[in-house]
């Protein structure tokens, strides 16, 4: 019988001998029967040293702070480092929120419950993240939010934050509860864009003094926080016995034994001082309640508008109606924020509120800036917020994790991570400039 073999079939036998079983391959590299007919790249062979040498790249282990920071790829990585290096009480003060911490979890989940909608075949060879906010430039669409007691997290505190912001070309906001004075922060970052956050006190003369100091130090924006009629129930602080300054109890001494560097830095630097008062001893809640004004009304906002000649921003807006009212009372911008979940638990989620507020202010033909904070842990979160209507964003915990992980270098690393995230997300969306982002790029998934 004659067999017809299709031409060009490399697996077809050409002679009867080709189909006969052969001996096993030897160490010299002879083909086995199974290898015959395979491409050379698929035939097994004894590896040569010349092939192995380029693969053997054994590096000396690096344990320095700089090496650890370089290995951090996300803000969550910095958080893990911060937790290992910082005593429980100051770490929990940063990491925690009010009551059951529902608001914080929901705020972070809101950024996860989205779908990006990328455009393709766009030229994204160059990504420009710069923007203008409140009459000035920012190299990135994110600034550093006001945070209290910052030198308690790590001894460089506000000095690290303001200098990192200056180097990154973004705004830095000093809190009334900051542990460095307005003047010292201005001196530490003389070329930076410094803003000041104000808690209005019942003693208006003391508030006025702070406002005048902020103006004299070159701050171009005043950010008044309005969601703190009383202190939120921050239960981690209660359970940790958190005080200002941290008390040396048996618990804290035991905790310090695992984190000697933090305590060494804390005890060998200037004691904590505040932008608004020189010394205080007591619990965080007592300090807050002694300073915040529960009688604050829109009339006080009008007084601020008349008093402060720079840009005025109102932080803590959580409804569309309040957004409109503060703009009507002269605010140049609003910060959609629930105080990082640290005040009212189950408060509105700023990211969810953003499209409604943006639509309402556009309908009013307002040019007030919309700034968003709470829950941001990646550059993709920032891009999503900008697409849905925010003009700018602020980070609090995200930079504090970097601070606790490595001081100024840690804050620099946090900003580098966010910038890289933003650039990558923009490129994959097919967008090269912040102004090109639109609500069409993001869909909020309904669960």
Three-state SS letters, 379-442: HHHHHHHHHCCCCEEEECHHHHHHHHHHHHHHHHHHHHHHHHHHHHHHHHHCCCEHHHCCHHHE
Output the pTM of the full model. Answer: 0.86
Q: Interhelix angle for 75-85 vs 88-95, to 10°?
A: 150
Contacts of 209 (CB under 8 A, 6+ apart): none
Using alpha carbons, select from 109, 177, 29, 84 the residue that is nearest to residue 349: 109
> Do residues 149 and 175 make contact, with C-beta atoms less than 8 angstroms apart?
no
102-106, 170-174, 271-275, range with the lowest pLDDT: 271-275
- 11 pLDDT higher than 70: no
Tokens of 129: 């993240």
Annotated active-site residue 339? The verdict is: yes
> Do residues 370 and 334 make contact, with C-beta atoms less than 8 angstroms apart?
yes
Measured CA to CA, the distance from residue 237 to residue 242 in angstroms comes to: 5
Q: Which tens digits make up the pLDDT trace of 197-255?
A: 998 877 788 889 999 999 999 999 999 999 988 888 899 888 887 766 656 566 766 77
Q: Which tens digits make up the pLDDT trace of 251-281?
A: 766 776 778 888 788 888 887 766 655 444 5
Measured CA to CA, the distance from residue 45 to residue 89 in angstroms comes to: 60
Q: Which tens digits make up the pLDDT trace of 359-384?
A: 999 999 999 999 999 999 999 999 99
pLDDT band at 167 (very low <50, low <70, confident <90, very high): very high
Tokens of 278: 């020189």
How large is the average pLDDT for residues 163-187? 95
CA dist list (Å): 316 to 96, 161, 288, 375, 392:
18, 22, 16, 14, 15
Using alpha carbons, select from 112, 93, 115, 362 the residue that is nearest to residue 237: 93
- In the set 30, 269, 339, 441, the catalytic residue is 339
C-alpha of 156 from chain center? 18
Average pLDDT, the chain: 87
Q: What is the pLDDT of residue 25?
A: 47
């Amino acid at each position: 019988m004659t067999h017809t073999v299709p031409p060009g079939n490399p697996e077809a036998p050409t002679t009867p001998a080709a189909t006969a079983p052969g001996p096993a391959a030897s160490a010299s590299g002879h083909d086995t029967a199974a290898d015959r007919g395979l491409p050379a790249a698929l035939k097994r062979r004894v590896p040569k040293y010349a092939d192995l040498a380029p693969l053997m790249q054994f590096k000396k282990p690096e344990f320095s702070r700089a090496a650890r920071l370089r290995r951090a790829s996300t803000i969550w990585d910095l958080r893990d480092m911060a937790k290992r290096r910082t005593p429980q009480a100051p770490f929990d003060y940063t990491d925690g929120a009010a009551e059951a911490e529902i608001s914080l979890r929901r705020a972070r989940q809101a950024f996860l419950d989205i779908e990006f909608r990328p455009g393709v075949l766009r030229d994204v060879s160059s990504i420009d993240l710069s923007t203008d906010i409140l009459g000035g430039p920012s190299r990135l669409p994110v600034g550093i939010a006001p945070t209290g007691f910052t030198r308690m997290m790590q001894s460089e505190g506000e000095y690290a934050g303001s200098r990192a912001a200056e180097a990154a070309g973004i705004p830095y906001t000093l809190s009334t509860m900051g542990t460095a004075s307005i003047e010292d922060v201005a001196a530490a970052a003389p070329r930076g864009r410094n803003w000041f956050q104000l808690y209005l006190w019942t003693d208006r003369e003391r508030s006025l003094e702070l406002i005048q100091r902020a103006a004299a130090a070159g701050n171009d924006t005043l950010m008044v926080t309005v969601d703190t009629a009383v202190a939120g129930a921050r239960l981690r602080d209660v359970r940790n016995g958190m005080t200002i300054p941290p008390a040396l109890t048996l618990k804290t001494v035991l905790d310090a034994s695992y984190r000697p560097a933090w305590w060494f830095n804390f005890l060998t630097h200037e004691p904590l001082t505040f932008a608004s008062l020189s010394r205080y001893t007591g619990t965080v809640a007592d300090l807050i309640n002694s300073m915040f004004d529960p009688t604050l009304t829109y009339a006080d906002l009008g007084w601020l508008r008349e008093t402060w000649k720079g840009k005025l921003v109102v932080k803590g807006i959580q409804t569309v109606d309040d957004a409109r009212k503060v703009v009507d009372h002269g605010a140049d911008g609003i910060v959609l924020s629930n105080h990082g979940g640290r005040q009212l638990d189950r408060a509105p989620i700023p990211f969810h509120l953003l499209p409604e507020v943006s639509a309402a202010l556009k309908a009013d033909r307002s040019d007030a800036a919309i700034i968003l904070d709470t829950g941001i842990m990646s550059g993709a979160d920032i891009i999503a917020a900008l697409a849905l209507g925010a003009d700018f964003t602020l980070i609090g915990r995200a930079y504090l994790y970097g601070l606790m992980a490595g001081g100024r270098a840690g804050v620099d690393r946090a900003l580098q991570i966010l910038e890289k995230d933003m650039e990558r997300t923009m490129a994959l969306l097919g967008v090269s400039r912040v102004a090109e982002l639109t609500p069409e790029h993001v869909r909020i998934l309904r669960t």
